[in-house]
Amino acid sequence: MKQFKLVCLGLLLAGHVALEAQNGALKGQILNDDHLPVFGATVKIIQGGVLIGGTVTDEQGKYTYKPLNPGNYELLISSMETQTKKVTNVRVSEEKTTYVDVAVTSHTLEGIDVIVYKPATIEKTYMHIKEISAEDFTHMAIDRGNIGQAVLAVTSEATEDSNGETHFRGARGEASAYYVDGVRSPGISGVAALSVENVSVITGGIPAQYGDVTSGVVIVTTKDYFGGIQSARMRNSYITEHKERIQREKNAVAEEKKRRKEIEEELKQEEETKQKKETKSE
C-alpha cells in the first residue's frame, strides 16, 4: 500500500513539474492588406515539423495559445480571405508571453486581359496623320480650351496667322477643312478640349470623302454623354480611393501605436502578477 502511495505521489509531482515547464504563452493579432483584423483565421503552431496545436482569431483578429514549452516554433496562418503565410523562428519563453503580430495578403482575382477591337475610322496606310487623344490633352502644355494649339503642337506642317487662323503647309485657310462629329464646320475654336475624345490631323493623302481640300483636315470627335459620365465616375472613384488609402495608412499608424501600448500594458500586468505569486509563495 505504501509503495502504491509513493507511486501516485511521484506521478503527481511529475505532472506538476511538466505543467510548470509548460507555462509559455503565445499571443498576437492578424491583419490584412488594409490593416483590418482577420476574423476566423486559423493559427497552427508547429515544432520540428510536428503540429503542436492551434487556435482561431477573434473579431479583433487576435489569438492566444497556451501553455507551450519554451522553444522555437513556426506559425502557419490561413483563412478563406487571405493567402497562407508561414512565420518561422518564433521563440517562446517561460518568463513572459511572446507576441507575434502578422500581416497577411488578401486573395485577389487573377488579371483578365480584355481585347476590344474597334475598326479604324480613318485608314492610315496612305495618309500623313497625327492623332491626339483625350489622355494626350491632359499632358500637353497648352491651353486646355484651345484645340488649335494642340494641332500646332503635334505637326510642324501647321501654322497660325495673326488672326488665329490655322494654315497647313502654307496654303490658304479655305484649303483646309474641319469636321466635328462627322459634320463639316467653319472651325474648331468653339470646341473645348475638355469635351474632346479624339482629334485627327491629316496633312497629306486626304481621302476624297473630305471634298476638294488640298492642305489639311482636322477631324474632332467629342465625348458622348455616357462617356462623360463614365470619365467623371472614374475620376471621382480615384479621388475617393486615394483619400481612403491615406486615411487607412493614418489609421494603421495609430493602431500600431495603440497595439504597442496594449502589449506593454499586458506584459507589465503579467510581470506584476508573477511577482505577487512569488511573494505569496515565500
* 102, pLDDT greater than 90: yes
Q: Are 104 and 83 in contact (CB under 8 A)?
A: yes
For residue 61, pLDDT over 50 is answered with yes
**pLDDT, average across residues 164-186:** 76
213 or 123, greater pLDDT: 213
User: In 3D, which of 160, 179, 174 has the Cα closest to residue 213?
Assistant: 174
Whole-number Å distance between alpha carbons of 218 and 201: 5
pLDDT per position as a tens digit, 109-167: 555 555 554 444 444 445 577 787 777 777 776 665 577 777 787 787 778 777 767 77
Q: Please state, in angstroms and rounded to a whole number, the distance separating the CA atoms of residues 81 and 30.
A: 12
State the average pLDDT for the chain: 76
233 pLDDT above the threshold of 70: no
Show the domains of the chain with their CATH numbers: 2-108 (2.60.40.1120), 128-223 (2.170.130.10)
Q: Which residues pair with 216 in a beta bridge?
A: 176
Stretch 80-109: mean pLDDT: 87
The more confident residue out of 96 and 63 is: 63
Give CA 229 to chain center in angstroms: 24
Cis-peptide into 67, omega within 30 deg: yes
pLDDT tier, 78 (very low <50, low <70, confident <90, very high otherwise):
very high
Specify the higher pLDDT residue, 191 or 21: 191
- Residue 21's pLDDT is 47
Among residues of the chain, what percentage have pLDDT more than 90?
20
Q: How far apart are the first and last CA of the chain?
A: 34
| Model confidence pLDDT, tens digit, residues 245-264 | 888 888 888 888 988 898 98
- In this structure, the number of other CB atoms found within 10 A of the CB of residue 37 comes to 16
> Cell for 237?
472613384
